[in-house]
């Protein structure tokens, strides 16, 4: 505790005697911060603009003495706050936060608290897509070399909750918002998987992603993404990975089986793994590079990669029936992820996407026209993709995933791939992709039984 308090005082002037910290947002991250601070003498309160935040009942049961303000942003709470911990869902542009900062409040993030509290080595990774798969592979690799991994961050346990686990290494997958509000991140090894823009573009997005390389750890960079490889700092130790060219870790194609390579050393054949598609091969290469940066035995981590079963709804092979491959990539809920999924196949693709899919970026319409024989759109909220590709290929609109599978079954011929890649979010629900993927799997197994 004494070490933690010294660090908080040193870096943020956050002390029990003079400070009052306000946690903005009572989601999983905000609750984890409250639980963490409750173990310290730091005075804090929680505020949320929603009348009944998701975890309000848990907070009141577990931490009944914590001051909580809900149903709006109580200005008095912000006025007395010397420090503000903004959860990832709380935008720093909020007027109340900006005003408090202008009046001298210090903005911190949960990752800063985590870095002050942890003594374990940290591996950090970010990217528009691929964080889940890469971190899952890394966790398997850590176990293979005898380490207990703790996996947290985006779509995983909040970082501060990892402190409650018995572990030897922490693996953090971080979003732009988390990176935006951290100053103390110093990962032993860190990677940027890609910076393909979905909502924020160009240099702004790259600058946010680059913040993962704070400190002096090993940099792992995607050599196939110009914005990423440009982040390389010559004086820092670094490794590159690529599925298109030679790099430190790369995919060798031609002249025999496709292989994962470390420079001139063959690590393993792709067909020894269950990896489906170039994006997942890239994720595996990034994980290998991070593992090597950590000093883990390459033979052991390659063994873990051979045994890795993949993640549900992420380039998941559902069935191959009568020469038709059915692939569930329901996690591709953005245009860029859908494009990456399409780029895996030289075979003809029947793409099943969400009706709300938009032509942002315009590359999505280009990729669909170039790589698909038919487009099947499901759902009710119409986007602009149908109009953008209309006339270039058949476009069929249906009400649900089951109907989409039936249409695909009618259109598919031996050698085709039927790919579910929604290219949009399902009403912005975090679990929407899983529901969509499960319906796809059920429909395929029912309509095209093996």
User: If we measure between CA atoms, which residue out of 172, 127, 139, 122 comes closest to residue 308?
Assistant: 139
Q: Tell me the pTM.
A: 0.82
* Range 151-155, long-range pairs (CB < 8 A, 24+ positions): 153/178, 154/178, 155/430
pLDDT at 202: 67
pLDDT at 312: 81
CATH topology for 119-307 is 3.40.1190
CATH assignment, 316-447: 3.90.190.20
CA of 326: how far to CAs of 264, 298, 340, 412, 417, in Å?
A: 35, 33, 17, 10, 6
List the domain boundaries for the chain: 2-108, 119-307, 316-447
CB neighbour class for 430 (10 Å; exposed up to 12, middle 13-18, buried from 19): exposed
Sign, Cα dihedral of 378, 379, 380, 383 = negative
Decide whether 2-108 matches 316-447 in CATH topology. Answer: no
pLDDT at 85: 96
pLDDT at 199: 44
pLDDT at 440: 95
Does residue 33 contact residue 59 with C-beta atoms inside 8 Å? no
CATH assignment, 2-108: 3.40.50.720
**Could you tell me the mean pLDDT of each successive run of 10 residues in the chain, 450 residues long?**
95 96 95 97 96 94 96 94 91 90 95 97 93 94 98 90 97 93 96 74 84 97 96 96 97 93 96 87 97 98 93 85 93 87 87 88 85 93 84 92 95 95 68 86 83
């Amino acid at each position: 505790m004494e070490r933690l308090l010294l660090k908080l005082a040193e870096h943020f002037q956050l002390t029990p005697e003079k400070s009052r910290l306000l946690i903005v947002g009572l989601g999983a991250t905000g609750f984890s911060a409250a639980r963490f601070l409750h173990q310290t003498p730091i005075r804090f309160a929680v505020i949320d603009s929603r009348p009944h935040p998701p975890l309000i009942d848990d907070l009141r049961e577990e931490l009944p003495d914590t001051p909580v303000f809900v149903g709006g942003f109580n200005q008095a709470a912000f006025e007395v706050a010397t420090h503000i911990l903004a959860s990832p869902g709380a935008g720093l542009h909020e007027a109340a936060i900006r005003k408090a900062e202008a009046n001298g409040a210090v903005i911190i993030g949960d990752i800063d608290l985590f870095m002050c509290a942890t003594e374990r080595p940290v591996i950090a990774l970010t990217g528009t897509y691929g964080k889940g798969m890469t971190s899952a592979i890394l966790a398997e690799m850590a176990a293979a070399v005898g380490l207990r991994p703790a996996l947290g961050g985006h779509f995983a346990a909040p970082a501060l909750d990892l402190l409650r686990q018995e572990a030897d290494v922490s693996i953090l997958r971080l979003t732009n918002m988390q990176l935006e509000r951290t100053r103390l991140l110093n990962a032993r090894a860190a990677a940027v998987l890609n910076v393909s823009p979905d909502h924020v573009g160009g240099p702004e997005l790259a600058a946010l992603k680059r913040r993962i390389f704070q400190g002096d750890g090993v940099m792992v960079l995607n050599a196939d993404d110009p914005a990423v490889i440009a982040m390389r700092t010559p004086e820092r130790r670094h490794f590159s990975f690529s599925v298109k060219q030679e790099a430190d870790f790369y995919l060798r194609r031609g002249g025999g089986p496709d292989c994962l390579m470390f420079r001139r050393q063959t690590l393993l054949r792709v067909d020894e793994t269950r990896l489906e598609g170039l994006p997942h091969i890239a994720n595996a290469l990034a994980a290998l590079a991070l593992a090597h940066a950590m000093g883990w035995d390459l033979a052991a981590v390659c063994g873990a990669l051979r045994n890795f079963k993949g993640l549900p709804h992420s380039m998941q092979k559902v069935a191959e029936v009568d020469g038709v491959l059915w692939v569930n990539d329901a996690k591709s809920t953005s245009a860029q992820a859908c494009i990456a999924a399409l780029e895996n196949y030289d075979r003809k693709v029947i793409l099943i996407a969400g009706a709300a899919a938009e032509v942002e970026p315009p590359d999505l319409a280009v990729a669909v026209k170039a790589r698909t024989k038919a487009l099947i759109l499901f759902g009710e909220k119409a986007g602009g993709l149908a109009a953008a590709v209309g006339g270039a290929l058949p476009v069929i609109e249906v009400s649900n995933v089951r109907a989409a599978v039936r249409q695909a079954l009618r259109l598919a011929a031996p050698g085709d791939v039927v790919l579910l890649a929604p290219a949009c979010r399902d009403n912005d629900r975090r679990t929407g992709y899983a529901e969509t993927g499960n319906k796809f799997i059920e429909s395929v197994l029912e309509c095209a039984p093996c």
